[in-house]
Amino acid sequence: MPTNKHKVLVANRGEIAMRIIQACVSLGLDFVCVHTKADAASGHLALAREIGGPDCAYRVSSYHDANEILAVADHSGATAIHPGYGFFAEDFRFARRVAERTRGLVFIGPSWRIIRSLGDKINTKRLARSLSIPTVPGSDRPVYDEMEAEEIAETLFAFQAEQGIANSVVLVKASAGGGGMGIEEIYDIEQFKTVYRRIRNYAKRQFHDEGVLIEQRIFDFNHLEVQIVADRSGKNIVHFGTRNCTIQSTGRQKRVEVAPGFRPQEVAYAFDAAKVLDDIVGYSLAMAREVAYDNVGTWEWIVSPTGQPFLMEVNTRIQVENGVSAAISRIRGQGGVNLIAEQIRMGLGDPMGYDQSDIAFEGVGVEYRVIAEDPANRFTPWVGRIDQFLAPTLPWARLHTHIPMDAPYEIPTEYDPNLALAIIWGKDLAEAKKRGVGYLDELTLSGADGAGQELKSNVRFLRDKTATILQF
């Protein structure tokens, strides 16, 4: 089917749904969206109705209900589904169902086999090691033998000693666990047997699998990403640079993203930062080629204080922070790169139409995640009413938000209280930081909760952290 004959179901909410709708419009594609009762006032619903009329939006009980999503697709005549991020974006079972049902649809993301393969962190680690790509030291499979597990732990303590780490830590984890369950830290090899046996018994009791993983605990690292884009052939694969996502909440949730990942022209590092960037890009591309990656994806890395990179995981979806990579990217000298539009276009079968030599980078981009939360209280979400939200309109700034700016808005309790993404561009780091601080200072954000208490947000936290951007 020709690309422009497709109709895309936007299976998400908020700002990412709005960006997908806008990308569809830019490509001349029809679209349909979904919304829940809680999202009746969301900007994505208003935008969809403004562009496509009242019949382009369908109410569902949940964004997590696959049957409802597919029923809307069939009723509306959609031929493709864009999952955005979160919800079904990295669910290979959903992607497989979309593609292989009797009325097959296009899943706009990597093919389900790739999602399944790279979504398995143990498999990803094993694949990386087969390509001599550095990963976090430790086991790449569940370990069931106590003596083998102890030997791995001993090598990790020795490795940390070589790195000059004074207070070594090794993680002992239930391989079948998740969400922080079944994990303990050990600080001395003498502790190992006791902790190993405890975790093994816990894993057997909770998950019916005694497998245990042993990994190095890495502190004081920088969190970097490589943005990969590929077409359906799995042969045309490029990168759109690196990002630094080190500024996070106490719960390791990203709050500030910067492109590129390091800026050695303006910041002094204790290692060859340019080489590190080249290395992680090269490793990411090698792995993408090995699996014939066929859409957008992000290779996530941690970099130690000595400049050693370790692959952490692969996110087989569009990232929240894709816009900050786009802000510094140029294709054949032209700005205005839209990675979501590129994802859709290639996901529907268009060839890439350019190669790495056509892509260049200019300046520095900073993305702020504006969130209703209390940074002083462990970033506790704030729930209430937004009375006023105003942001400056500037040529070097973009704001993505589903919050209406002409009416009060009640933050739904069902979802994260994300309010907006502000993307700032500067010709260099100094200018981007100056512009970022100025932009945040001009934001107007006010409201109150049910008890009349003033709105809490992370704007001050973002402003204060701007000074430390790209510093190690």
Q: Which residues are catalytic?
A: 317
CA-to-CA separations, 141 to 137, 147, 177, in angstroms, rounded: 12, 15, 13
Kindly give, in sequence order, each residue whose CB lies less than 8 Å from that of residue 304, ignoring residues fewer than 6 positions away. Answer: 163, 218, 220, 221, 310
Q: What is the distance of C-alpha 154 from the center of its chain? A: 34
N-terminal to C-terminal alpha carbon distance within the chain: 49
Tell me which DSSP letter residue 73 carries: H
Q: Select from 258, 461, 279 the least CA-distant residue to 363.
A: 258
| Residue 199 C-beta-side C-alpha neighbours within 13 Å | 30
Q: Select from 232, 243, 426, 388 the least CA-distant residue to 323.
A: 243
Residue with tokens 């979400």: 381
Which residues are bridge partners to 309 per DSSP? 303
CA–CA separation, 123 vs 419, rounded Å? 35
Characterize the bridge pairing of strands 106-107 and 30-35: unpaired
CA–CA separation, 36 vs 244, rounded Å? 34
Q: Select from 342, 305, 346, 448 the least CA-distant residue to 387.
A: 448
- Start-end of H helices in 388-467: 429-442, 459-465
CA–CA separation, 109 vs 91, rounded Å? 11
For 187-232, the DSSP string reads SSGGGHHHHHHHHHHHHHHHHS---EEEEE---S-EEEEEEEEE-T
In the numeric block, which tokens belong to residue 368? 């702020």
Q: Select from 203, 184, 180 the least CA-distant residue to 194.
A: 184
In the numeric block, which tokens belong to residue 414? 């069902």
CA-to-CA separations, 296 to 29, 114, 130, 301, 347, in angstroms, rounded: 19, 11, 23, 17, 9
For 264-301, the DSSP string reads TTTS--SS-HHHHHHHHHHHHHHHHHHTT--S-EEEEE
